[in-house]
Amino acid sequence: MNFLDQLNNTQREAVTCTEGASLIVAGAGSGKTRVLTYRIAYLLQQGVPASRIMALTFTNKAAREMKERIQKLVGADARYLMMGTFHHVCTKLLRPEADKLGFTRDFTIYDTTDSKSVLKAICKERGLDEKIYKPGAVQARISMLKNSGVSPAQYGANTQLLREDREARMYEMMTVYEQYQVRLRAANAMDFDDLLINTLVLMRTFPEVRERIQTQFQYILVDEYQDTNYIQFLLVKMLAEPQNNICVVGDDAQSIYSFRGADIRNILNFRQQYPDAKLFKLERNYRSTQTIVNAANSLIHKNVHQIEKTVYSEKEQGQPLRLQPYMDDRTEALGVATAIQRQKHKGYDSFAVLYRTNAQSRVIEGELRKLNIPYRIYGGTSFYQRKEIKDALGYLRLAVNPRDNEALLRIVGFPGRGIGETTMKKVSLNAIEHHKPYLDVMRRPDDTGLDVSAGTAKKLQAFAAYMDGLSEQSETMDAYTFTEMVLRTSGVMTALALDRSQEGIDRAQNVQELLNAIREFVEQRVNEGIDYTPITDFLSEVSLQTDQDENLTDTSERVTLMTVHAAKGLEFPVVFIVGMEENLFPSQFAVKPNEVEEERRLLYVAITRAMEQCHLSFARQRFRNGTFNFASPSRFLNDIDRQFFELTRPAAPERPSFGLKDRSAERPAQAPVRPATPVREAQTPIASSWKEGDRVSHRVFGVGTVLRVYRDEVTENDKIEIRFDTQGTKTLLLTHAKLERA
């Protein structure tokens, strides 16, 4: 059967229109991956060589799945596609040309942990306050600068950036940035952001390289284009020139990564960049019920900056969204756990609990454990971020790149060989002073006058000699054989085997799993016709792993807990979205209109993860920062048309439940649709000792005039609205306002 027959009309048109620029706006659940995959398959079917196609994705997992599907559609030619993440593709483009930029072909790729380690060392050497110059914050700042195209030289001329540093009391940030780049180059290393920037520099600086790359890749395809940053935008633009056979796929309504540098303007302004670009809108949702899709539409249409589209579903109408208020975050967690338990016949894998911040998971985990409900937290510690794995990889990294100082510092003390921190501090300071890699100093300590005893000097030389031997062997042995030899001769496996605690056993098993992963990697390459796989190829693959690429080794059924950001791209029959409160969702840090719009897009993503049921809840008070704080329902609840809601209430405040009984059968078959009503309009006047016009005094807000007293039917709270003389209008919980007559 022709695979084009599996597409709807709009999808088919987007697949077969291959020449020139194309923008495919793919609504949630509309078959975006299928369209991108089939478009590549169609190009191959039309005779375009696989080596002429470049497809850029945001996860290695997405690239692997697409390649597998293409192979099933058109055959084995797909293995020659240049397909992978931006970082993966840039690494392949850079290695053959690295010498032009002053690097060797075997340059090391520093992950986030490596970068933080370098930055921590720089800040410590300069005597900077660790409480101010936190490695994570400094690393994130530098990454944002790089993604925005700001070099250390440009940094010093940017008054706004320097002002931000002064406000954060990070007066030496520019110097730290400069030193960080010096250390990277000295270590023959690049971080993730450098892979992109240096590819751009390479193509700009060397026209012959740029022309060769542009000639080789005639068709450029980009997935999740709404998540691209400024540097990625420039890269894509240059790669596509001059033919401009560029196809970008994405959904502006799901642009939620501005904190990583993503710029929604890239997709919003695509047709301005390419005036002749064809626009395709994939608006049919194949995932969710009509009610879920319509509710999500009513929400996202409140955003000003968007590409107009109306996503629709042809599935069953489905149940309304359930909105549940709770007394506090503990009863909210208990309500979610109880609701899951009532529907456990669906299988625990059917449920996902989504939250805005990681801190919200603690109380939910506690209630799930009490009811013996198994769960997993998606986005936990990655396999390749575990200490024992990074230690093992450290030996491999240093073997192929003797200038990798971070790898050396990680492994020199494991297993113990009599080289302590004091000695290594002397080595590092001496190496920095003489502009040498640490291993050079250890190899010949007398040449630089290293101040260590004769016994210590022998230990340093012995370690350096061992690593030199590994470097030679790495060039002749395949990845698996080499790794097995390194782990055995270095003493890593022996040291792990001697620890018979459960943690030690787990660590040893993890290292064994690393060997298994390398063996599978080598075997996969053999199946692709590649006879020899050096360890550098595997190290590149590992360095480019993303959170979403992590395989869950536990395949038993479990409820999934995760942040909304982590949920993008996933789907579940039943979704719970907790913490729908002001200053939580939307975040208290969302102040500007564009920030609020991104928070609204984030909720859109959360709702559209649901296939059959979507539950939203909020707490009247939440334990945050060590105290209980009163909370108001999120403003976004007003943005969803009330006709798509069913408000449920706990039977008793002490033990809430979601009221999961499906009441759709109790309604008349042709019941008229209720008009949309904002959540906050569900209010009833109540009898109170306070009345409109009373002058009152509040210990925080001062003196004011009562505007009204009412019962909020959504939160089930009695509230009082007061216009204070100096603080504006406030709405307070009547039972906690502690008012006095003025």
Tell me which residues are annotated as active site: 32-33, 223-224, 254, 609
Beta strands in 92-180 (DSSP E): 108-110
Alpha-carbon span 379 to 552, nearest angstrom: 10
Sign of CA dihedral 328, 334, 335, 336: positive
Lookup: tokens for 581? 């409160």
Alpha-carbon span 719 to 711, nearest angstrom: 6
Burial of residue 129, with CB atoms counted within 10 A of its CB: 0-12 exposed, 13-18 middle, 19 or more buried? exposed
Task: Spell out the residues 6+ positions from residue 481 whose beta carbon is closer than 8 angstroms to its own.
Answer: none
Per DSSP, the three-state class of 572 is: strand
283 in Cβ contact with 27 (< 8 Å):
yes
220 in Cβ contact with 56 (< 8 Å):
yes
Task: Spell out the residues 6+ positions from residue 348 whose beta carbon is closer than 8 angstroms to its own.
Answer: 340, 373, 374, 375, 557, 558, 559
Alpha-carbon span 636 to 300, nearest angstrom: 10
Q: Which residues pair with 322 in a beta bridge?
A: 615, 646
- Among 185, 195, 128, 197, which Cα is nearest to 405's? 185
Alpha-carbon span 578 to 604, nearest angstrom: 14
Task: Spell out the residues 6+ positions from residue 91 whose beta carbon is closer than 8 angstroms to its own.
Answer: 109, 195, 540, 544
Position of tokens 């001329």?
A: 157
Burial of residue 250, with CB atoms counted within 10 A of its CB: 0-12 exposed, 13-18 middle, 19 or more buried? buried
Q: Is the peptide bond before 152 cis (omega within 30 degrees of 0)?
A: no
> What dihedral do alpha carbons 177, 180, 186, 189 form, nearest 10°?
-110
639 in Cβ contact with 299 (< 8 Å):
yes
Alpha-carbon span 618 to 336, nearest angstrom: 11
For residue 375, report the phi and psi dihedrals to the nearest 5 degrees: -150, 165
Lookup: tokens for 250? 């994405």
Position of tokens 């859109």?
A: 604
439 in Cβ contact with 398 (< 8 Å):
yes
Q: Nearest-5° angle of CA 543, CA 120, CA 395? A: 40
> Residues of 346-362 as b/e, b for ≥16 C-beta within 10 angstroms?
eebbbbbbbbbeeebbe
Q: Kindly list the distances between the CA atom of residue 271 and the CA atoms of 10, 22, 304, in Å, as whole numbers in the listed order.
A: 19, 9, 18
Which run of H or E residues covers position 426?
Answer: helix 421-434
Q: Nearest-5° angle of CA 113, CA 116, CA 121? A: 130
